[in-house]
Amino acid sequence: MSKLPKLSVIMSVYNGESYLCEAVESVLNQTCTDFELIIINDCSTDRTAEILDGLSKRDERIRVYTNEVNLKLPASLNKAISLCRGDYILRMDSDDLCLPKRFEKQLLFMENNKDVDLSSIRFLTLKNGVYLPGGCGGRTDNEALKAMLLVTNPILHPGVIMKKEVACELMYDTTLTCTEDLELWTRMVLKGKKIAILPEYLLIYRLHDKQITSTTLDRQHKEVLLVEEKYYKGLLSHIPDEIKEFYISGVYFKENADVDKLIKLFKWVKANNKGAFTKAAVSYAFLEMLAEYKRQEIPKKNIIKGMLHFSPLFLIKEILRRKQCAKSDLCKLYKAAEEYGLKRTGGNDAFPQFEK
């Protein structure tokens, strides 16, 4: 490369032979060509090295580095960040697929929103040949995402683009093994950085049995609580002991949904919020949790009971906002699906499913 690229794409791969070629091809086929692709081979024992060797010989934008020992994802990503030459750093996983205009649209969004330090995108999940949309109608602004981080992780890690100087300043926490993304987002907010979501469907997020999210649930529980305790302490107060257990099982992972306990947490957050969050953003975050409970088929009477704790004016405004945003998001979804060659095969108008 004769000149420095505008965009640095970073990927860490460990035994990724199954989907690696397809993932890299989706990067090389981008409409935006001003990028470098930095791939860290984290001591793979399958055909990953052979595949990477072939790919790097085909395209000079691909730069491959091999760890001498298995460093795990956070340390490997930090290594990649230190090697970046672009103004922006974009994340990509070795098993996901970029839609062709992903880089172009994400780069344009960051250039047009100079106050945003990190942003992510909408996506479709892919499992067993079925594509499902995520995030339709949700808020994408900094205030809402800050509040959502109190109850979940609203930022898709492999969909992220961030300013290089911010990534180099903060880096990933290498003491964590499966929540390094959540920790980085919350630390960014605590340091006054601004986050956002570009409401465009630009990534296929593959779900499969080998993923870290499917194999390390107990460790995730411990790490999430550690990260969220710091976030709550920094912006609100210490999470009361009686809330901690429910927070993990009933809020973040939603394994034991309980509307009464959720409303108790909602009231506690409102009482301890001294200006870190807007009132509307806090209400939005907990209304989203109720919506998740509803999707888990919690009795309707319990959901209605929970909704009584929200301002009627807020509910009216949010219903109208969501209706308008969902309509816009669905138009973008169908356009992306058509461009990618997907056809609707099921679901409903609000939550369609697609197949190739």
Each residue of 2-43: pLDDT tens digit? 689 999 999 999 999 999 999 999 999 999 999 999 999 999
215-252 pLDDT per residue, tens: 578 899 999 999 999 999 999 999 999 899 899 999 99
- pLDDT, residue 213, reads 54
| Distance from C-alpha of 342 to C-alpha of 334, rounded to nearest angstrom | 9
Cα–Cα distance for residue pair 148/155, rounded to 1 Å: 10
CB atoms within 10 A of CB 200: 20
All domains in the chain, ordered by first residue: 1-95 (3.90.550.10), 217-314 (no CATH)
Q: What is the CA 178 to chain-centroid distance, rounded?
A: 13
As a whole number of Å, the end-to-end CA separation of the chain is 36
Which of 90-94, 115-119, 190-194, 292-296 shows the lowest per-residue confidence on average (mean pLDDT)?
Answer: 292-296
- Residue keyed to tokens 């950085």: 193
- In this model, does residue 317 exceed pLDDT 80? yes
**Looking at this protein, which amino acid is placed at residue 282?**
V
CB < 8 Å & 24+ apart, contacts of 235-243: 235/189, 235/190, 235/276, 235/277, 236/269, 236/272, 236/273, 236/274, 236/276, 237/272, 240/268, 243/268
Predicted structure pTM score = 0.96
Decide if pLDDT at 211 tops 70: no
**270 pLDDT tier (thresholds 50, 70, 90):** very high
What is the pLDDT at residue 245?
Answer: 87
Cβ-based neighbour number of residue 318 at 10 Å = 18
- Per-residue b or e along 231-270, where b marks 16 or more CB atoms closer than 10 Å to that residue's CB: bbeebbeebeeebeebbbbbbbebeebbbebbbebbebbe
CA distance 34 to 39: 17
pLDDT interval class at 214 (50, 70, 90)? low
Query: Mean pLDDT, to the nearest integer, of 290-299?
Result: 93
pLDDT in tens, 33-43: 999 999 999 99
Please provide residue 162's backbone torsions phi and psi, each rounded to the nearest 5 degrees.
-145, 160
**Could you tell me the CA-to-CA distances from 148 to 125, 144, 297 in Å, in that order?**
20, 6, 22
The confidence score (pLDDT) of residue 215 equals 58
Q: Return the structure tokens found at 305.
A: 């009971």
Q: What percent of the chain has pLDDT over 90?
A: 94
pLDDT tens profile 121-173: 999 999 999 999 998 999 999 999 999 999 999 999 999 999 999 999 999 99
For the chain, what is the mean pLDDT? 96
